[in-house]
Chain A
Amino acid sequence: MSGAPARTPGKAAGAVSRAYGRLLAALALAGCAVLFAMMLVIVADVFLRNVAVPGLPRGLAWSNEVSELMLYFTTVLVAPWLLRQGQHIRVDILLQALPKRLAWSLEWVGDVIGLTCCLFIAWYGARAAWASYADGALSIKTLVTPEWWSLAPLPIVFVLLAIEMVFRMQRLWHAERGPRQDAVSAA
């Protein structure tokens, strides 16, 4: 490859980044567990609705609202890990067509905008969660839960995403001058 050679990151910075990567992987694994539990909750609801088991209720009336919450938790638990893996899909048709050095510069533009965007959502998501907490807002369904329980994970995850964005930029700095090889689709 042409262009400036890749630079090796400092030892300490590399260690911090790897440790953070392990944290994100652990969160993703937790996301997998939540996903599995979501399946079990729905199956249990269907089973109990159709088969009378002495001592157990006829169906879990809260299964829909709990499983949709679990879907949301899975989404946010996995998101920062996907960013680390370069698996948040994107369009790279232009980047692949442009001169490598220019593509590399555009990666920077995207990262800076992405970082800003994560910080914005973290801040306003936190304020939305805080306002809900301060008002004592409740989510009143079959189960009554404080509304901030579902609002708070969003800003936390966007803080994690913002931190990963910084590591992502660090990796870009040390990488070859060219576009990244991130995922481009999912189905």
Chain B
Amino acid sequence: QETTLRLVSAFAENGIYAQRLQEWVKKVNAEGKGVLQINFIGGPKAIPTFEVGNAVKTGVVDMAMSTGAFYTNVMPEADFLKLTEVPIAQQRKNGAFDAINKVWNEKANMQYLGRMVENQPFHIYTNKKVDKPDLSGQKIRITPVYRDFFQALGANVVTTAPGEVYTALERGVVDGYGWPIGGIFDLNWQEKTKYRIDPGFYDAEVSLIMNLPAYRRLTPAQRDFLNKQVLALEAQNDFWEKYKAEETARQEKAGIQAIKFDAAASKAFRDKAYEVAWAGAEKQSPEVAKRFKPLFAPAAK
């Protein structure tokens, strides 16, 4: 018996995330004849980005590709996934994956199927040179993902629509912004960016989520097939390591200088990023944050 699942993307259809997703859908549909088919409905034109979580929760769609920050209105815990410091393969072994699914099942009526983007740290990009991790006097464009951290670094935070960041940078309305290591070329921001602060922090998480009743309705054969396909997708996540290296090189070629701190300052910078975020997480959902924190932390060497 064959079932068709309806899938949407919270990211625009022409971006790299949605492109890789569509390749995967093609493969699933080719291999899943008679078992499972996926109907890719589209991007934010079909369901607005910040409504994707609710649409999965209520079953308007069966599956979605999204990042947690887009569905904090379903549950604040969604944004905690950016704090994982171990790869998804490890998360499946150390209990993190099950712990995530328990919360996603109970609070969001969702099955957390798997993670398709890893190893994409966020960075601070700025046009004002700094010699220490301090953004005092800088106007930085934020999203909720790293607002607390940037404020902790002393930045004046500004919100602007993504479409206006280019002009805002050009005219100096903002001095900088936060963004993952990849993707600034899609928006042409490299033209108006001088520096990137290293190291990166957090991990731009993009995952597949599924409506829980729809997941439970699948026959064991269908569920096995789906999980096998998701695992195959995750197995390709080393792509992102390569993509990170390419994008870093491309930024350098575009004239973006990396600002590096000494080892101690770098560590303090990263530690502060996680400390601020976990403090925020514990305020929003103390019990879940406590459960996740040890599971997300890098294994002691």
Q: Which A residues are within 8 Å of any B CB, using their own CB?
A: 49, 58-59, 61, 63-65, 137-142, 147
CA distance A61 to B73 in the complex (A): 20
- Name the segment of B82-90, B157-165, B215-223 touching the other chain: B157-165
B139 within 8 Å of A by Cβ? Answer: yes
User: What's the minimum C-beta distance from B211 to chain A, rounded to whole angstroms?
Assistant: 15
CA distance A63 to B142 in the complex (A): 13
Contact B72–A140 (Cβ < 8 Å): yes
B68-87 contacts to A, CB under 8 A, are 72-74, 76, 79
Q: Which B residues are within 8 Å of any A CB, using their own CB?
A: 72-74, 76, 79, 139, 142, 144, 147, 156-161, 173, 284
| Given contact pairs A139-B73, A147-B73, A64 touches B139 in the complex (Cβ within 8 A) | no
Query: Whose C-beta in chain A lies nearest to the C-beta of B109?
Result: A135
| Given contact pairs A49-B139, A59-B139, A138 touches B73 in the complex (Cβ within 8 A) | yes
Partner of B156, one of A49, A137, A142: A49
A-B contact pairs, 12 of them (CB 8 A): A49-B156, A58-B139, A58-B156, A59-B157, A59-B158, A61-B157, A61-B159, A64-B161, A138-B73, A139-B73, A140-B284, A141-B144
- Which A residues touch B142, using CB under 8 A? 61
- Which A residues touch B157, using CB under 8 A? 59, 61, 142
CA distance A139 to B147 in the complex (A): 15
User: What's the minimum C-beta distance from B284 to chain A, rounded to whole angstroms?
Assistant: 8
Query: Whose C-beta in chain A lies nearest to the C-beta of B280?
Result: A140
Q: Which 9 pairs show the lowest CB-CB distances between chains A and B? A: A140-B72, A58-B156, A64-B159, A61-B157, A147-B73, A137-B73, A59-B156, A139-B73, A141-B144
Contact B76–A140 (Cβ < 8 Å): yes
- Which A residues touch B161, using CB under 8 A? 64
Query: Whose C-beta in chain A lies nearest to the C-beta of B173?
Result: A49
User: What's the minimum C-beta distance from B142 to chain A, rounded to whole angstroms?
Assistant: 8
Query: Whose C-beta in chain B lies nearest to the C-beta of A62?
Result: B159
- Which A residues touch B72, using CB under 8 A? 138, 140
Contact A142–B144 (Cβ < 8 Å): yes
- Which B residues touch A59, using CB under 8 A? 139, 156-158
CA distance A138 to B72 in the complex (A): 7
Considering residues B139, B159, B161, which has the most beta carbons from chain A within 10 angstroms of its beta carbon?
A: B159
| Given contact pairs A49-B139, A59-B139, A142 touches B159 in the complex (Cβ within 8 A) | yes
- Which B residues touch A147, using CB under 8 A? 73
Partner of A64, one of B76, B156, B160, B173: B160
CA distance A59 to B74 in the complex (A): 29
- Which A residues touch B173, using CB under 8 A? 49
Known: A49-B173, A61-B159. 10 other contacts (CB 8 A): A49-B156, A58-B156, A59-B139, A59-B157, A63-B159, A64-B159, A140-B72, A140-B73, A140-B144, A142-B157
| Given contact pairs A59-B139, A142-B144, A137 touches B159 in the complex (Cβ within 8 A) | no
- Which A residues touch B73, using CB under 8 A? 137-140, 147
CA distance A61 to B159 in the complex (A): 6
- Which A residues touch B144, using CB under 8 A? 140-142
User: What's the minimum C-beta distance from B67 to chain A, rounded to whole angstroms?
Assistant: 14
CA distance A98 to B286 in the complex (A): 67
User: What's the minimum C-beta distance from A124 to chain B, rounded to whole angstroms?
Assistant: 12
- Which B residues touch A61, using CB under 8 A? 142, 147, 157-159
- Which B residues touch A63, using CB under 8 A? 159
Considering residues B142, B158, B161, which has the most beta carbons from chain A within 10 angstroms of its beta carbon?
A: B158
- Which A residues touch B79, using CB under 8 A? 140
CA distance A149 to B69 in the complex (A): 20
